[in-house]
Amino acid sequence: MSNIPILDTLNKITKSPPPIWFMRQAGRYLPEYKEIRQLAGGFIELCLNPQMACEVTIQPIKRFNLNAAIVFSDILLITLALGYKLKFIEGKGPIISPVENEKNIPLFNEDKFHNRIKNVYETISRIKEILPKEIAIIGFAGSPWTVAAYMLEGGSSRDYTKIKIWAFKRTKSFQILIDLLIDATIEYLNKQILAGAQIIQLFDSWAGIAPESIFKQWIIEPTKKIVQQIKNLHPSIKIIGFARGAGAMIEDYASCTGIDAVGLDSNIPLRTAYKLQNTIPIQGNLDPIALLVGGNALKKETNRIIQSLSSGPLIFNLGHGVLPQTPINNVIELIKQIRS
């Protein structure tokens, strides 16, 4: 047992009440976030301003006393570090200079990479100085498949045609891109851990678009390589894998990648979660809409999760991020309910 509840859970110790944190817990539903966001001038500028990013990271901890702080950043900053042009447009999301062919895939330059993204490491160092010792620091990265999806599509997409064409047909070029992202992700996470991150979460936000026939090759295997290398460098680090939309493939993802805990989206049935919990700690998976709605619906959905999963190692979280329209009082009531 340690004085950090979430690390106990990741070591397969059942905690009552379970530790709590939320994906996108620092964000637009908080008025204090909106104030800093306006001062920063832009989303990327906020992510790369260590003082502001640190303050934003700490805001939900001050307000809700959650069990973990996840560094305020974005999974696509890694593309900026690799030399690609990246911008975020209000209402549209990320826009990236798209990878059209193999010539658009650079060789990995470690010095340039870290220099472009070093402010993220400084943010983590600042968080470490301020955060109470019992609250864990979570660093993160996007998994290669998901980052590649944005890079090939040039941003978000309705059908993700380009990444599927590369994954099915242009496999040699796609492997070069995935290998680049594996190497870059390992470097990025290593520096985050050296700066003070105690837990890592890998976000595979678009795992659900990968058909079963290629899921192992392009999602499980790259994740496994990253986990193995990070564990070689930092044997005590804990890694949570979040493969959103993986559906029935979540069992293979949990058992074959080497992760310490599996994050579940809201569509994973509780019977599947309970089965997984026999072998691995789980994280999730309240629907963010239930949190948005509040009231009896929120209480009912929360009780379903607690009653089904509180007898094993559980980190209470959402199945995706907090929505911007979420009332703060709903978050307060949810935390009270869990901790009571």
Taking the chain (340 residues) in runs of 10, the rounded mean pLDDT of each run is: 92 97 97 96 96 98 98 98 94 91 94 97 98 97 98 93 97 98 98 98 97 97 98 98 98 98 98 97 98 98 97 98 98 97
288-312 tens-digit pLDDT: 999 999 999 999 999 999 999 999 9
Any catalytic annotation for residue 74?
Answer: yes
The pLDDT score that the predictor gives to residue 160 is 94
Residues 206, 186: Cα–Cα separation, whole Å? 20
The pLDDT score that the predictor gives to residue 91 is 79
The pLDDT score that the predictor gives to residue 158 is 87
Residues 317, 188: Cα–Cα separation, whole Å? 25
Any catalytic annotation for residue 271?
Answer: no
Q: Is there a binding annotation on residue 204? A: no
Q: Is there a binding annotation on residue 205? A: yes
164-207 tens-digit pLDDT: 999 999 999 999 999 999 999 999 999 999 999 999 999 999 99
CA distances from 233 to 99, 148, 203, 219, 226 (A): 31, 25, 20, 22, 11
Q: Is there a binding annotation on residue 158? A: no
The pLDDT score that the predictor gives to residue 292 is 98
Residues 19, 314: Cα–Cα separation, whole Å? 7
Identify the helix (H) or strand (E) that includes residue 314: strand 314-318
Which CATH number is correct for 5-339, 3.30.200.20, 3.20.20.210, 3.40.50.300, 3.40.50.2000?
Answer: 3.20.20.210
Any catalytic annotation for residue 24?
Answer: yes
The domain locations on the chain are 5-339
